[in-house]
Amino acid sequence: MNQDNNCEEIRKMFLASVRRFEELQREMETYSNQELQVETLTWEPAFYIACIFTLFAIGLFGFVFNRSHVILTIVSGELMLLAAFLNFVHAGYAQGDPKGNIYALLMLVIAAAESAIGLALIVKLHRLKRTASLSSMRFLRG
């Protein structure tokens, strides 16, 4: 008897969710039939290029002038890669071609793998030497 009550409650909940889904579909159809006035914000391409250059310069500065912190080196490298991603996305947008987004997505996958390997090396180094400085990584040379 209790199991029949549970089944009936589940059936009622399912039917209620189906009705709610149909209501939402009808609302979406009314919104899609209406003309929506959306004001878009447009920036000059020079602004995008300046932002990309600034991100890359900050990453390069951190990468070149860092002498001891491994995490800062990895973050600086990722910042430079972010600038490259944004450059691909902006170039694709400017040309009206989605290939820039595709290239950026492929580069993002490669950057994620690179970061995972780098962090694994840092964890291994910390376990062996109890430090994570760049000077202690010299023993990793073959």
> pLDDT tens digit string along 1-29?
566 677 788 888 888 888 888 888 888 77
CA-to-CA separations, 116 to 2, 34, 49, 112, in angstroms, rounded? 51, 47, 29, 6
Whole-number pLDDT of residue 4: 67
User: Which residue is it, tokens 């987004």?
Assistant: 101
Whole-number pLDDT of residue 13: 84
Does this model's pTM top 0.85? My answer is no
- Both tokens of residue 115? 């970061």
Whole-number pLDDT of residue 139: 66
Whole-number pLDDT of residue 50: 92
Q: Specify whether the CB–CB gap between 72 and 87 falls below 8 A.
A: no
Helix, strand and coil content of the chain, in percent to the nearest 5, comes to: 80, 0, 15
- The low-confidence residues of the chain, meaning pLDDT below 50, are none
Number of neighbouring beta carbons within 10 Å of residue 80: 18
Phi-psi region of 139 (alpha: psi -120 to 50; beta: other; left: phi over 0): alpha
